[in-house]
């Protein structure tokens, strides 16, 4: 049964366009600092706990698609409240059971300092059991997109890749990604802020709905 929350929702403290808070922490690949990833894209995501069913399926799927993120010049970084040694034991289990190695860093955050700083949990929460947040951070360290899922629903890895590619394509072209856009499909031109263009358009929607390099919709 779903019960409405009576406290601030996770993901509420940061907004799209904010600089991602810097931090340094222990991880499964050694000490990591967020700002060290400047110059490339970064997907930072939290999971409620190690050795849980949904999180395990997510990490198996992400490990299998890690090369796809890398090909788009994007690093992956995970975070949970579990200890570093719990992370190690979980990754060994994943490798032995599913035949994939998780090589991207998993941060330990037992005091919830990082999770609170990113709004992954509300300020008064004592654990991250209800958290499944994702932050898409651009090469300048700016948060460009966020998603927040409940603990009982796993992320869509294809959608994570679609968001990343949509942001990158829009940045490269200065255009817009329409609903249900998929990589390789046309983008939309940004509408002109020009009354003459509005009145001169051949059709009523042609001044604001136009595929890049195409004809008006």
Q: Which residues are catalytic?
A: 55
Q: How far is CA 49 from CA 30, 54, 76, 176, 194, in A?
A: 20, 10, 17, 36, 52
Q: With CA atoms as reference, report the closest residue to 56 among 115, 26, 97, 103.
A: 97
In Å, the largest CA–CA distance within the chain is: 66
Q: How far apart are CA 45 and CA 147, in angstroms?
A: 9
Alpha helix (H) residue ranges in the chain? 53-64, 66-71, 84-98, 113-117, 157-173, 195-200
CB 217 within 8 A of CB 209: yes
Q: With CA atoms as reference, report the closest residue to 165 among 188, 142, 181.
A: 181
**Three-state DSSP class for residue 63:** helix
CB neighbours of 70 closer than 8 A, spacing ≥ 6? none
How many alpha carbons fall within 13 Å on the CB side of residue 114? 27
Q: How far apart are CA 159 and CA 165, in angstroms?
A: 10
């Amino acid at each position: 049964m779903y019960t409405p929350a009576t406290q601030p929702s996770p993901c509420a403290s940061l907004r799209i366009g904010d600089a991602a808070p810097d931090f340094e922490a222990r991880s499964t690949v050694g000490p990591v600092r967020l700002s060290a990833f400047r110059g490339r894209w970064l997907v930072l995501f939290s999971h409620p706990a190690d050795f849980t069913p949904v999180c395990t399926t997510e990490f198996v799927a992400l490990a299998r698609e890690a090369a796809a993120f890398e090909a788009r010049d994007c690093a992956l970084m995970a975070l949970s409240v579990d200890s570093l040694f719990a992370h190690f034991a979980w990754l060994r289990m994943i490798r032995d059971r599913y035949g994939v190695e998780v090589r991207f860093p998993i941060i330990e955050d037992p005091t919830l300092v990082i999770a609170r700083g990113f709004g992954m949990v509300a300020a008064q929460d004592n654990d991250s059991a209800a958290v499944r947040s994702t932050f898409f951070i651009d090469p300048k360290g700016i948060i460009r997109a966020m998603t927040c899922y409940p603990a009982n629903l796993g992320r869509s890895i294809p959608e994570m890749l679609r968001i990343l590619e949509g942001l990158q394509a829009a940045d490269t072209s200065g255009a817009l990604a329409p609903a249900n856009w998929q990589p390789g499909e046309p983008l939309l031109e940004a509408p002109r802020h020009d009354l003459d263009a509005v009145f001169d358009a051949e059709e009523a929607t042609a001044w604001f709905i136009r595929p890049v390099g195409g004809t008006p919709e």
